[in-house]
Structure 1
Amino acid sequence: MSANARAASDGANARLRLQTLGRVARGPLRAASALALLAGWLLVPQAALIALCMQRAFVAHDPPIVLLPLLGGLLILLLLRAGLGWASRRCADHAVERIRVDLRGSIARALVARGPAWVRSQQSGALAERMGAHVDALEGYYGGFVPLRVEVVGVPLAILLAAFFVDRTVGLILLLTMPLVPVFMMLVGLSAQAASHRQLQALARMGGHFADRLRGLGLIRLYGRGEAELEGIRSSAEELRVRSLRVLRIAFLSSAVLEFFASLSVAMIALYLGLSYLGMIDLRAQPLTLGAGVFCLLLAPEFYAPLRRLATHYHDRAAALAAMDELAQVLDDARAATPVLPPTAPPAAALVSMRGITLRHAGSARDVLRGVDVDLYRDQRIALVGASGDGKSTLLEALAGWIPATTGAMERAPGLRIGYAPQRPFLFAGSLLDNLRLAKPDAGDDELRRAADAAQVLRFADRLPDGLDTVIGERGFGLSGGEARRIALARVFLRDPDLLLLDEPTAFLDPDTEAAVLRAILHFARGRGLVMATHSAAAQAAMAQTWRVHGGRLHATAGVAG
């Protein structure tokens, strides 16, 4: 497929996504369009009343008292148009907010569906920019461009009919000059979309770069790389500035040209009317009245006003298409890239069954594990051992459903609940209780304390000033590695799983605390399956079976793995 064909296909897909996304707020968007159209139609009687007042005041010389009903009707029309415009804006804002919420929910669901393995391969700052700035880039499209599409057809058509009714020459001028605006909009649309796409890409890169450097600030200072990293941030910010100015340059240039065409058309009508009043042009059977001329002059700028506003929001459309191209990288179904594996019925009573599983990390050129055949049952106590980097954590992540298999088949028992405590558990900014409740939001205080006590969390929490209410920073700032692991273990206990997957749960613990944690794990694991990746001799001795990962293969106890 050529580059032009691919770009056309991507543009069509982006437009289809925008159309699909707008369905969630179809009602408010239609109401906003209808109200804006009605307000535009009222321009015709408004201009007619103004023209009639001037005709009666300056030509018929009617007393002011006679003009009061006309002025009262004009005031009512002005208030009505203002009210319709306000209501249209409210409906559009409501639609935009509904679309934002729905889209951010879709992005969150897509990230969950793709899994933590894919998320870890992305820059968290870039993902945050997509959730924030890229979603906000759709505001101008749904709040401005979509409602204007109806107005830009209905209002000029009504004005054109009114102009032809009053003076055919004015109507002809409007009819002949009208196509100039949309044609020019189409010409600048492609370049505007390309510029907006590059700007959003630069914004995502800068956000990801800055977020990564912020997380590694301590390491940057330790190695004296502060100035070099500041220069990198300056370069990213400069690139974003250049991209943004290019978008603004296209917007201002196109707006200036469109204003020129609109002003030229209005000037042509004004020149025709002026020459007609001076008697230098006579294209009418009846002389042109002052009221008719004023009516045409009032409607001429309003004829182009919706087109000019649409031209302004046409750049919002380009930005929305560019944003959807970027968001498609997250929203597209990740499962489409995952091989469809043949279903295999697990052996009776097995919690998990693997047959010929091959595991490979996203973007990696080699397999981590090959030909894995295992069955996991209740009351199994398995120590998963091997050198660092041989694939112990990868196997646990596959069992937990975090990463898909490249080949082979894996079956889980229906309704299987899995509790996974990774080697580097993520703790959110908040209290220790908030982090525990993540596993079971409706857990009572007594239940939380029992789980914390079993995981030996209270050993250090009771020494803190606020106990379990103590607030920690993002990623567990303020806790040691062993303390963070015990929080993760307490989460597993609260989840009440059928299968426990624990990655180095006793690392960084003193012997007494390690023995207490192992006793709690073994007690909790009764009637459940347990797989524990560990380097600890005490933990290995406490398990009934040992699986060894070496050379990309899993060597397990006879009868459990092939």
Structure 2
Amino acid sequence: MSVPTPVNAAGAQRRQRTQWLDARLATSRGRHRLACTCQVLAGWLWIPQAAAIAWALDALLFAGAGLAAIRAPMLLLAGTLLARAVLVWIGQRLQADVVETVLARMRVDLAAAVAARGPVWLRGRRSGALVALSTSHVDATANYFSGYLVARAETMLVPLAILVAVFSVDWIVGIVLLLTAPLAPIFMMLIGMGAESAGRRQLVALARAGAHFTDRLRGLDLIRVYGRGDAELAQVGEATEAIRVRSMRVLRIAFLSSAVLEFFASVSVALLAVYFGFTYLGMLDLRGETLPLSTGLFCLLLAPEFYAPLRRLAANYHDRANALAAVAEIEAAFEGLPEFSWDRLPPPHAGEGWGGGDACAPSTEIGPSKLPPSQPSPAGGGRGQSSSAQSEVRVRISNATLRHPGARTPALRDVSLSIPAGSRLALIGPSGSGKSTLLDTMAGWLPPEAGEVCVAPGTRIALAGQRPWLFHGSIADNLRIGAPDADDAALAQAARIAQVTQFVAQLPEGMDTVIGERGFGLSGGEARRVALARALLLRPQLLLLDEPTAFLDPGTEADLLAALDAWLPADCTVVVATHSEAVVDWAGARWRVPAMTEAVA
């Protein structure tokens, strides 16, 4: 069995990335083919246009015919000029439409790929680098669709038609064109490899600089506190200089290759001009017969257009190299080429779980022990459960091993847990024991490395984490992210239960007060209460809470738990990770997350 060489492996990767790029045209392939057809037809019309010009000049200047003799060639010339203008206009409009559609679809696919990998994967990525993928990297592929693919279609069909037309009038000119045509593909192949690697280095530098600048903007207050402003400005300057150097290298390759191809095309046209000049002067006779002047004009007019598609393909070959470099960076970021689209994603809050959405087996157990009898908690919790609610398992975890992406060791190993519908469970354990990891898994964010995590099919899931993400906008807008159609009454109820109204009443514009990204302008406890209200607005059947009462004083904590106890429906299952004894008493049942040594034992 032969081992693939690095050259073959690189070629296979390049073909795979090219196929991925071409697949982006799936929804616009018809319009793209029509655009290519228009450009090819416009190129073919150069043949009757050159014939009309040669015919008219020969009749008017050399045959001595009157104006009446040039009426037919002038009508032919006007018709071809008009047809070419219309075809070029239609082709360019279609190309612009196709590029706009394809780039928008690519951005949606990248966003879908990020969403499919989930928040746990996203936490380990630089947001600035991901933004660069959907902006500069996607934009780098635009000229591949609008330039390279169209130029490739022209190169395959237009020079061939011109070659046939030239051979029909002068076989010597046809041979010259045929022998000089392969020079362009050869130089494109030699220069293209260097252009692709240079383009990829440029995109890497651009993405790195963008991510660095975005991160520093977010931490600008910290940079100022520690007096690192000048040092960070120097780093931004170095990153900008690196982009400039790499951009100049790409331009140097582009200008060099274009100059070489222009040189050979000019030499080829000059060679034809010398041939016709010596032939008409009687100093060269390769045909053995008189050469009409119209033939020379026809061939000289078509010669530049024979090389024009080749020159355009060479110029757009760098666009192909840049596009492949951008795809390589996308592949590296996602550890593979994403093939996601929105219509393939599960609906929001579907909660089928990682067990394939199969119904969980009936059970009333939480871990090794049964639920304690219902009894009032200090916060008014411990609501009773009907037998029908206890007969259904909302969450079942069987021998699950959980590991964060890139972690050397699992966070939890061989964990088994069953949670009935309508129950409340407090996850307890020291910091770092894996409580938040377990909640992420129940939410469907972290698939188990081994074992099974099953959530009852159709379950609406809501998670309020320790570090909730709040967007720039009003508090009301942040609450409506999961339920955009929620009315003001539902919004006010969720805010009241989560104790948001306590601090919102002190704000200048109430619920319409604008907060900054990541909840800038709110305290840690206030941000968590906003996240809790946002989760409650979804009316979830499985409510996952991570330290919901942290940073709250005992009075506010008691009010929050009492409001939750009064509002939560009987079929809502609550799993809360906490260090608070008040929350544990409110839940009525506790489960200690086993340490790794206990789980292994």
Offset, 1:2: 4.4
The separation in 2 between residues aligned to 1:344 and 1:35, in whole angstroms, is 53
2:495 to 442, 447, 452: 452
Partner SS, residue 414 of structure 2: strand
Partner SS, residue 393 of structure 2: coil
Task: Report what 2:276 is aligned to.
Answer: 273
Find out whether 1:546 has 2:560 as its counterpart. no
Find out whether 1:364 has 2:407 as its counterpart. yes
1:14 to 3, 12, 17: 17
User: 1:341–1:407: 8 Å Cα contact kept in structure 2?
Assistant: no
Letter of the aligned partner of 2:483 in structure 1? K
The separation in 1 between residues aligned to 2:30 and 2:507, in whole angstroms, is 54
Residues 1:553 and 1:422: Cα distance change in structure 2 (over 3 Å)? farther
User: 1:107–1:131: 8 Å Cα contact kept in structure 2?
Assistant: yes
User: 1:39–1:84: 8 Å Cα contact kept in structure 2?
Assistant: yes
Letter of the aligned partner of 1:311 in structure 2? A
Partner SS, residue 283 of structure 2: coil
Map residues 79-478 of structure 1 onto 2, 5 A cutoff. Answer: 79-328=82-331, 329-330=333-334, 332=337, 346-348=360-362, 349-478=392-521
User: 2:474–2:514: 8 Å Cα contact kept in structure 1?
Assistant: yes
Partner SS, residue 551 of structure 2: coil
The separation in 2 between residues aligned to 1:151 and 1:353, in whole angstroms, is 60
Post-superposition Cα deviations, 1:124-162, rounded to whole Å, max 9, x if no partner, equal 111111111111111111001112222112111111111
Offset, 1:69: 4.5
2:45 to 42, 45, 62: 42
Offset, 1:3: 3.2
Offset, 1:382: 1.9
Letter of the aligned partner of 2:412 in structure 1? L
Partner SS, residue 409 of structure 2: coil
Offset, 1:549: 3.1
**TM-score scaled by structure 1?**
0.94
Partner SS, residue 352 of structure 1: strand
Post-superposition Cα deviations, 1:195-226, rounded to whole Å, max 9, x if no partner, equal 11222222221121111111111111111222
Offset, 1:343: 9.5
Task: Report what 1:76 is aligned to.
Answer: 79
The separation in 1 between residues aligned to 2:420 and 2:234, in whole angstroms, is 55
The separation in 2 between residues aligned to 1:366 and 1:159, in whole angstroms, is 67
Offset, 1:344: 8.1
User: 2:109–2:339: 8 Å Cα contact kept in structure 1?
Assistant: no
The separation in 1 between residues aligned to 2:326 and 2:449, in whole angstroms, is 31
Segments of structure 2 that go 5 or more residues without pairing to the other structure are: 341-353, 363-391
Task: Report what 2:576 is aligned to.
Answer: 532
Segments of structure 1 that go 5 or more residues without pairing to the other structure are: 556-561
The separation in 1 between residues aligned to 2:339 and 2:69, in whole angstroms, is 73
CA RMSD of aligned residues (A): 2.1
User: 2:443–2:463: 8 Å Cα contact kept in structure 1?
Assistant: yes
Partner SS, residue 115 of structure 1: helix
Partner SS, residue 500 of structure 1: strand
Offset, 1:122: 1.0
Residues 1:477 and 1:469: Cα distance change in structure 2 (over 3 Å)? same
Letter of the aligned partner of 2:545 in structure 1? L
User: 2:191–2:257: 8 Å Cα contact kept in structure 1?
Assistant: yes
Offset, 1:550: 5.4
User: 2:140–2:323: 8 Å Cα contact kept in structure 1?
Assistant: yes
Post-superposition Cα deviations, 1:394-413, rounded to whole Å, max 9, x if no partner, equal 11111111112122111111
The separation in 1 between residues aligned to 2:445 and 2:52, in whole angstroms, is 70
The separation in 2 between residues aligned to 1:445 and 1:233, in whole angstroms, is 46
The separation in 2 between residues aligned to 1:334 and 1:170, in whole angstroms, is 49
User: 2:144–2:319: 8 Å Cα contact kept in structure 1?
Assistant: yes
Partner SS, residue 308 of structure 2: helix
The number of equivalent residue pairs is 552
The separation in 2 between residues aligned to 1:61 and 1:445, in whole angstroms, is 88
Offset, 1:67: 2.9
Partner SS, residue 354 of structure 1: strand
**TM-score scaled by structure 2?**
0.88
Q: Equivalent pairs: percent with the same residue?
A: 50
Offset, 1:230: 2.0
Residues 1:70 and 1:297: Cα distance change in structure 2 (over 3 Å)? same
